[in-house]
Chain A
Amino acid sequence: MKKLSMLLFSFVFIAGANFAQQKTKQGHTNQNKFKQLKDELATPNSQHTASGAPGIAYTQQKVDYNMDIVLDDDNQRIYGNETITYHNNSVDKLTYLWVQLDQNMRAADSKTPDIQPNKIPTKLSKSRFDRSFPSEAFDGGFKIEEVTNIDGSDLSYTINQTMMRINLTAPLPSGASFEFKIKWWYNINNHRTQGGRSGFEHFPDGNNNYVIAQFYPRMCVYDNVEGWQNDQFWGRSEFALEFGDFTVNITTPEDHMLGATGVLLNEKEVLTRKQLKKLAEAKKSFDKIVIIQSQEEAEKVEKKRATKTKTWKFKATNVRDYAFASSRKFIWDGMAVDINGKTVMAYSYYSREANPLYGDHSTKAVAQTLKTYSEYTFDYPYHKAISVDGQMGMEYPQICFNPGRPNADGTYSDRVKYRMIKVTIHEVGHNFFPMIVNSDERQWTWMDEGLNSYMEMLAELAYDKDFPITRGYPKNIVKYMNGDQSRIAPIMSKGDHVYSFGNNAYGKPATALWILRETIMGKELFDHAFKTYSQRWKFKHPTPADFFRSMEDASAMDLDWFWRGWFYTTDVTDIGIQSVKKFQTKTGENDTVEFIEDTTAGLTFAKKDANSKFHYEITYNKPGGLVMPIIVEFTYKDGSTERKTYPAQIWRYNDKEITKTFSSEKEITNIALDPDLETADVDTSNNSFPRKEQTKFTQFKKKMKG
């Protein structure tokens, strides 16, 4: 009989198999969420190694600039005469050089406005109307007067929109340098009415505050990742720049106060005796801000107009860019900051319209940024960092332009204060990413904005432990990540192409790093790896792969699944509790233990056996595409709680649902997932068992109505 049943069984089995085979099975490629990123990341080489560090063959071009700049306040123009020395440190022979002409984004023939689809709106504010429908076209863009060899002879060049190719007569060999000159000028834009990442602000009394950047033709990056950086400046995706040394002489009206990248070489020529004395005081003041040019003094200066000029002489070593701010309206204050025994100066330049907001907080925010960022990356290597009342938020080496002004009566709300401090910390923080850890902003906005937005959170919390952080916490990104998928791009998208720029390139990557540190890796492993990446790539050009690899290499954590989910997809976190079965045990026959299921609804046992523990079989489901750890909080009958975190790898065999047991001495009354909102779970309605029916609405109504 037994034989027969076996026979029957095998018959059924084989027949079943045959039946199934009638439909040819289709195979599949590796779709596992834990699949390694080898297809996505560039193959490691001796420049960008598999560990994420620069390799033995790593090279980087160097570009030195020698510039004479004249700021014409009467006509809001700037004139420049520059000598560029290009050092070809690569192993390649270069037949041409590419120069960036960023100002051409504002030229009459700029294609930037042409790629913005638009409709006629019903109504526009007057200022926006004037900006979008100017009465006369702005004559912007570089006016290139001469491009010459060092001996003055003409140099062949070709301009393609925001870039200019220098056509070399003989190829530039590896290790050689090429020196050439460009003479140029341009009309400065009013950044308050026309917008911009630099420009001037005009005041009713005729004064102008200048915040000047992208003001000189500057070399494109050449490397073995992109070749020559060949993507036009459309206005959004920022810059890729080489390090070098700058010698800059800036001629301004004699009564201007100026702050700029670099060491001021002739302070005795351009500052008054009183300013010099106050400056010396500031350099020794580590706890109190010293006012170098007071509001009273600035108010006196701004009422007059000097007819003479003066020239400010600067030398900036190993910086990737140059910027300055100049106005007769500027108040100037400063404070010394101790960075591991080295004194760095924190300065602010601001007009009376920005005081007392700037006087109260700007320099303090600069100092805090230098301290916190230095702690988590590397000691700030430059001698100063400046914040300017530029009424935008833009960053350059050693200097940045920030927003925020008080009311006319000098009062300001907490929101105005915190926003100004927040942006100041953010822009000063950019000194680290990307001014020093010099990623390619044109390609990857998140590499500087995302890392910087994460670091900004740490500096803000150090500035004020109750700082109202608006971006970076997991719960704050839920609305974006749970939005319309047709309007969301993966983080690993080029900045010019992403929707919801702020969330895509700032908020989401900052959140991802916050989650890595707080929930996935832990502070110690994360901080060490993040520091490793920062130190490896300071004064170099890292790529996304260098960041991903360094974070794994320095922590012994394979995070490919995390990068894949958070950076390469638009998947969301949604983990829920699908069902719970509960059991107690009793001694069975033949030295066994039997599990007896209590099939009543809910978590409470109908009958309790004091000799048995409480055993639960919990099925977790995952409607969301992201794999994340399962963080469970069990609440016991006595009110005490216990947490258990299952690593993300629990999802490696089944991406949809997994079942896991949990045993306890005490009876459980409630099971909750992600109780501290650490994972950016987009739907928390399935996060508790028994289900909590109370919605946000009913909770609020109950609170209001009592």
Chain B
Amino acid sequence: MKLHKNFLILLFITLMSFSAHKYYLSLTQINFSSKSKSVQIIINVFMDDIETALNKDYDIDLQLTTEKELKENDVYFEKYLNEKLHFKVNTIDKKFNYIGKEYEGELVYFYLEIENINAVDQITISNKILVKHFPKQENLIKSKVGKVNKSVLLDAENYSETLKY
């Protein structure tokens, strides 16, 4: 008998949806710029989730967007992203530069850049952002190289994917 994964369906009671409806999703937009010869990455995550994750992982109290916001917190964000996020461009491991972050409503945007890329055939992304503390976290990747758009939805189990252009 073939044991199918669906055999193991168990009950998850996710019924309630109130006004402050909560879902767990981040968006990573990857764009290859032939002009600047770089892979440009914008990531947005929910502010309270990333705050919870960093506070737990690094034993800090970020208090984002408040008067008590932890100063020079970029060092933690950069550290966190370096731990959770890895790229290969054309099968070669690549480090990214952390350009900075900005806040918009409930979201935090991170700007990352991989420099000195002449052409892109494929990108491998490994994304474990927020999955440790939020088991239902999903990380959506959207990418654009030339005129080709590729996207993939990653989560705690399937956190890595190679996108070919």
B2 within 8 A of A: no
Q: Which of B10, B18, B27, B113 contacts A120 (CB 8 A)?
A: B10
Taking a contact as CB atoms under 8 Å apart, the answer to whether A122 and B40 are in contact is no
* Contact (Cβ within 8 A) B11 A393: no
Which A-chain residue is minimally distant from B5 (CB atoms)? A119
Smallest Cβ distance from A356 to chain B, in angstroms?
16
Interface check B83, CB cutoff 8 A: no
What's the Cα separation between A133 and B133 when bound, in Å?
A: 19
| Partner of A122 from B27, B111, B157 at Cβ < 8 Å | B157
Assess whether A215 is interfacial by the CB under 8 Å rule. Answer: no
Sorted nearest first, the 7 A-B pairs with minimum C-beta distance are: A502-B21, A393-B18, A235-B15, A118-B12, A393-B19, A697-B40, A413-B66
Question: Whole-angstrom distance between the alpha carbons of A339 and B31 in the complex?
Answer: 54
A697–B29 Cα distance when bound, in Å, is 10
B100 adjacent to chain A (CB < 8 Å): yes
Residues of A467-491 contacting chain B, CB below 8 A: 468-470, 476, 479, 484
Complex Cα–Cα for A122 and B64 (A): 30
> Contact between A235 and B16 (Cβ–Cβ < 8 Å)?
yes
Tell me whether B20 is interfacial, beta carbon within 8 Å: yes
Q: Which residue of B lies closest to A498 (CB)?
A: B17
B135 close to A700 (CB less than 8 A): no
CA distance A700 to B41 in the complex (A): 12
- Asked whether, in the complex, the Cβ of B9 is within 8 Å of the Cβ of A119, the reply is yes
Interface: A23 (CB within 8 A):
no
Residues of B within 8 A of A125 (CB): 133, 135
Is residue B106 contacting chain A, with contact meaning CB distance below 8 A?
yes
Tell whether B118 is near chain A: CB-to-CB under 8 Å.
Answer: no
Q: Please determine whether A123 and B135 come into contact, CB atoms closer than 8 angstroms.
A: yes
Q: Which of A415, A697, A698, A704 contacts B47 (CB 8 A)?
A: A415
B58 at the interface (CB under 8 A from A): no
Contacts A113-B11, A120-B10 hold; do A479 and B42 have CB atoms under 8 A apart?
A: no
Interface contact A122-B135, CB-CB below 8 Å = yes
| Interchain CB contact under 8 A, B65 and A116 | no
Provide the residues of chain B in CB contact with A196, threshold 8 Å: 15-16
User: Which of A156-164, A419-427, A559-567 contacts the other chain?
Assistant: A419-427
Chain B interface residue count, Cβ-Cβ cutoff 8 angstroms: 44
Contacts of A419 in B (CB 8 A): 20
A sample of 20 inter-chain contacts (CB < 8 A) reads A105-B15, A112-B13, A123-B156, A132-B11, A132-B12, A195-B16, A411-B68, A413-B66, A413-B68, A414-B66, A415-B64, A479-B27, A502-B17, A502-B21, A695-B40, A697-B42, A697-B113, A698-B40, A704-B99, A704-B111
Please tell me if the beta carbons of B48 and A415 are within 8 angstroms of each other in the complex.
Answer: yes
- Chain B residues near A697: list those with CB within 8 A: 31, 33, 40, 42, 111, 113
- The answer to whether A122 and B13 touch (CB under 8 A), given A128-B135, A415-B65, is no
Chain A residues positioned under 8 Å from B19 (CB to CB): 393, 423, 426-427, 449, 453, 506
Complex partner residue of A700 from B36, B102, B156, CB under 8 angstroms: B102
Indicate which residue in A120, A236, A426, A698 contacts B17 across the interface (CB closer than 8 Å): A236
A123 to B135, CA, bound (A): 6
- B64 to chain A minimum Cβ distance, whole angstroms, is 8
Q: Which residues of A contact B36 (CB under 8 A)?
A: 698
Interface residue tally for chain A (C-beta within 8 Å)? 57
With contacts A121-B135, A415-B48 taken as known, whether A392 is within 8 angstroms of B18 at the C-beta atoms is: yes
Check if B113 sits within 8 Å of A236, measured CB to CB: no
Residues of A within 8 A of B64 (CB): 415
A234 to B17, CA, bound (A): 12
- Chain A residues near B9 (CB-CB < 8 A): 117-119
Extra inter-chain contacts (20) besides given A415-B48, A427-B19, A468-B105, CB under 8 Å: A112-B13, A113-B11, A118-B12, A120-B8, A122-B156, A131-B13, A132-B13, A195-B15, A197-B16, A197-B18, A236-B17, A392-B18, A393-B18, A413-B63, A413-B65, A413-B66, A415-B64, A423-B18, A500-B23, A697-B111
A672 and B52 alpha carbons, distance in the complex (Å):
40
A508 to B66, CA, bound (A): 29
Docked pose: A569 CA to B133 CA in angstroms: 36
Within 8 A of B (CB), among A108-167: 112-113, 116-125, 128, 131-133
How far, in whole Å, are A501 and B136 apart by their CA atoms in the complex? 16
* A120: chain B residues within 8 A (beta carbon): 8, 10
A479–B40 Cα distance when bound, in Å, is 19
Q: Please give, as numbers and ranges, the residues of chain A lying within 8 Å of B109 by CB-CB distance.
A: 700
Contact residues in B for A696 (Cβ distance below 8 Å): 42
